[in-house]
Amino acid sequence: MSTPGVKLVGYIGLGLAGGPLAECVIKKGFTTLIRDADPERVQAFLKANQGLPVSEAPAGPQGFKDVDILITMVPNGHVVREILLGKDGIAPHMKTGCVIVDTSSSNPFGTVQLGKDLEPYGLRLVDSPVTQVRMHGINDGEATFMIGGDGKDIEKVLPVLEAMSRWRFVVGDLGKGHIMKTFNNYMTAAAIAALNDCFIVGHKFGIDPVQITDVMNVGTGRNYGTAHSIRAEGLTRSYASGYGLALLVKDLNINLDVASKAGIDTTLASLMHTTFMDALKEPDVEPSADYTECLKLWERRAGLKLKTPVGIKECEEPRDFPSPF
């Protein structure tokens, strides 16, 4: 793809989100260098995308010295900082004017500081975390980006972000994208907590949990959990939404930090962090657990087990659900 000022893109992080997003980039024709902490993942990616303009970045800190844009999709901002400015950091070896786009879910205050720390190297930083309107929507180029940064930097990286997404929102200067990400995940957690309450109480009164989501999906209670993740992955025990419970806990902690620095004391935010932290501590929940496994906490506390439905899928749109009458 011919985009002014962008001849080579770097992409670090090929996990559940990074892999599909990186595929979107190369399928749009951007020549791309990739890297991941897992060498096998890199080779699997290259094999799956033979014939496309992608190759593994040379080993060592100079592997991305020629890229015009570098995208990071890693677990958190600490990892981003280590990649760029750690012992074997790549930032000192990158060319002046390169714009780094952190699509990870990072602490916004760390992002602002990182931007300042990159300036002596002539590097620019944009934060552009990701969400989606349906499970695995990012696989089809339907990501939503929340973007923070300088206008000229955003203008430079926008064609690459467009390759990965359907919706893009510039929410302010550097760090504001990551603040918006914490809001998104806070709302997700609060809705899921309420939905899980409904399942447990409904069970006591003999109401089918799937029917609870059916009703809500054609009413004002519709949310990501009722239509997608908890309905299709939590109730079915599939637990494969692609988003880790530990990551949600981390994001809820960031949300608390944002509220605290704004001078806001929010009881609900604190309760959500504590609740999902407790879910992560459940005896049969692994550190790598999908966030839909949070339902186990509600079941244990109530001393019951919800029935596991068969053949239940996501509810894409309200019109997809037929009326029983």
**Positions marked catalytic:** 181
Give the integer Cα–Cα distance in Å for 235 and 35: 36
Own/partner contacts of 292-297, CB < 8 Å, gap of 24 or more, are: 292/229, 292/230, 292/233, 292/234, 292/238, 292/239, 292/240, 292/241, 293/234, 293/239, 293/245, 294/192, 294/196, 294/234, 294/245, 294/248, 295/196, 295/199, 295/230, 295/234, 295/235, 297/196
E strand residue ranges, the chain: 9-12, 32-35, 54-56, 69-72, 99-102, 124-127, 130-132, 143-148, 165-172
Task: State the Cα–Cα distance between residues 21 and 160, nearest whole angstrom.
Answer: 10
Block residue for tokens 């550190």: 287
Amino acid at 216: M
Retrieve residue 106's tokens.
Answer: 């990072």
Closest CA to 29 of 56, 2, 49: 2
Q: How do strand 69-72 and strand 9-12 relate by DSSP bridges?
A: parallel
Helices and strands of the chain, counted as H and E runs: 12, 9
